[in-house]
Amino acid sequence: MWTYIKENFKKYPSQQKVLIKLASLGLMVQKDFEGVPRIYCGDVEVKASAVAEALDIDRRAVLEVLNKIVSDPELSSFYSNLRPVPDFGRVSTKLGMGVIQIVPTSARKTGIISGISQIIAKHDISIRQVIVDDPELVDDPKATIVTDGPIPPSLLPELRAVPGVDAVVIL
């Protein structure tokens, strides 16, 4: 999808920004009951002007993107199925859960999450959530792992030894 967007919108940087923002937030684009394309966060409508303001672009650029999305089968099938996902990384410690952040040597390295998960499971700690940044959407992608309880600092050396891990931070 990212190649498709980059190739088809290379002459329209503002529209490309809109497409990336919608995807990164999990904002869905669908026609309403009158056939007008709308932006939704779950079942809550998000105004095009709010997206335009967040990106510091003209609202008309957002509206143009919405029309292109609903008229392009490839874009429509992607954007009509997006869903927002809650990221509990910042609030989990308030709930008594553990949070670690994994910084990869390369976000394209395979097996990092598998290696980390195996170590956590070996110590009888349950994983509640894993959120991984998409390297196409984020400059410095990281993985945030929320666990049922705090991660003991004694696990840090073992976690850091996983191939492809640059750093592990207990939050």
Q: What is the pLDDT of residues 33-66, one digit of tens each?
A: 999 999 999 999 999 999 999 999 999 999 999 9
Distance CA 127, CA 95 (A): 14
**Contact (CB, 8 A) for 94 and 146:** no
Closest Cα to residue 159, out of 129, 109, 118, 110? 118
Closest Cα to residue 55, out of 29, 12, 28, 22? 22
pLDDT greater than 90 at residue 158: yes
pLDDT greater than 90 at residue 146: yes
- The mean of the pLDDT values for the chain is 95
Distance CA 99, CA 93 (A): 7
pLDDT at position 76, please? 98
Packed helices 48-55 and 13-25: angle between N→C axes, nearest 10 degrees = 110
**Contact (CB, 8 A) for 106 and 67:** no
**Contact (CB, 8 A) for 119 and 158:** yes
Q: For the segment 6-32, what is each residue's pLDDT rounded down to a tens digit? A: 999 999 999 999 999 999 999 999 999
pTM of the complete model:
0.84
pLDDT at position 137, please? 86
Q: Where are the alpha helices (DSSP H) in 26-72?
A: 48-55, 59-71
Which residue type, as a one-letter code, is found at position 135? Answer: P
